[in-house]
Amino acid sequence: MTSTQAPAGSAAQDLAALLVPGSRVCLTTHINPDGDGLGSEVALVHLLRARGIDAVICNPSPTPERFGFLFEDLPGVDRSAKAVVELRRADLIIVLDIAEISRLGGLATTVEERGVPVACLDHHVGPGHLPEGPRYIDPTAAATGELLHRLAVELDWEITPAVARALYVALVTDTGSFRFANTSPATLRTAAHLIECGADPEQVYRDVYASGPIGRPRLLAETLQTLVHEPEIGLTWLTVPTGALERHGVASDDLDGVVEHARAVAGVRIALLFREVSAGRVKVSFRSVGDVDVAALARQFGGGGHTKASGAAIVGTLDEVQSAVLAAARAALATDTPT
């Protein structure tokens, strides 16, 4: 197999050197795992098990229900409920879709103290902080799944239909079905190759986006009623009403994509979504259009991510967080001239 954007040989070989048949490898990703983190994990499990390596998934948060289909042919591989126990037995830990140990939540201390190599595949901006181990980080990639595809091609690992499906999920979810600015020619070539290897785009769409509970559109409808628009500066924001998830019988994962409705308004340069996740803590999603860097904005509040899509969990009441974030967004827009 060939690739137009393969990883540097050393990145692939450094990781491959640690993948010893019979060894025990734990894969993990960030709190509240998404399609890219989970798809990359599942694909890597298939790839490693084909090489005689005992690979399991140990995440700090449960798998959202809508991604459960990824595990149908991998019974028992998701050990997140016993993640600490599994990590303490690992010969190698591979962190996917993040490079910052704090994003591992309650697993951070265990990963830090285990004393084994910690490899990392990630596509986010920023150096991150993890224990020593091989690194393959490229912010130009649309998704971690794209990096894993490059690595598999570099190492001449077979991309089976199961691997292709999982990696296609990673690409689709992190590119907004190939609508976002992170979609590059290389991304589309990767997607084409995954389809050639057996990924079914229509089935992935059904599994990820067309199998939700009735509460999902009802949650969307209620949240859209909160839309506020400041057209003179190009700022919009949405607020998830208190208790809305419980009223509609849905999970936080069912909010995926809601902020895009705020970004879709003509003239918008920054779109925000506020959700109170607990007393005194608010999650904020940042999105931008054009050249506005919302990763820099999110970093002001201890968050981060991509230039056009970032997030932060901020301590404070909803009113306090909204006031601070909106002020920072207005200031950013005032100093950023539209192109």
Q: How confident is the model at residue 69 (pLDDT cuts 50, 70, 90)?
A: very high
What pLDDT score does 125 carry? 76
Segments of the chain assigned E as strands: 24-28, 54-57, 92-96, 118-122, 135-137, 228-230, 235-239, 270-278, 281-288, 304-305, 309-315
Residue 274: DSSP 8-state:
E
Residue 93's DSSP bridge partners are: 26, 118
**Strand 281-288 vs strand 309-315: parallel, antiparallel, or unpaired?**
antiparallel
CATH 3.10.310.30 maps onto the chain at 215-335
What pLDDT score does 278 carry? 87
9-209 has which CATH code?
3.90.1640.10
- The pair of structure tokens assigned to 61 is 């948060």
What pLDDT score does 7 carry? 56
Q: How confident is the model at residue 2 (pLDDT cuts 50, 70, 90)?
A: very low
What are the pLDDT digits (tens) for 256-315? 889 999 999 999 999 999 999 988 999 999 999 988 999 999 999 998 888 899 999 999
Q: How confident is the model at residue 58 (pLDDT cuts 50, 70, 90)?
A: very high
Q: How confident is the model at residue 4 (pLDDT cuts 50, 70, 90)?
A: very low
What pLDDT score does 10 carry? 79
What pLDDT score does 11 carry? 79
Q: Which residue has the tokens 């103290």?
A: 113
215-335 has which CATH code?
3.10.310.30
- Give pTM, 2 decimals: 0.87
- The pair of structure tokens assigned to 281 is 């803590």
CATH 3.90.1640.10 maps onto the chain at 9-209
What are the pLDDT digits (tens) for 224-260? 999 999 999 999 999 999 999 999 999 888 998 899 9
Q: How confident is the model at residue 9 (pLDDT cuts 50, 70, 90)?
A: low
- The pair of structure tokens assigned to 173 is 């979810």
Residue 230's DSSP bridge partners are: 235
What are the pLDDT digits (tens) for 86-122? 999 999 999 999 999 999 999 999 999 999 999 999 9
Question: What does the alpha-carbon distance between residue 251 and residue 63 come to, in Å, rounded to a whole number?
Answer: 11
Question: What does the alpha-carbon distance between residue 178 and residue 171 come to, in Å, rounded to a whole number?
Answer: 8
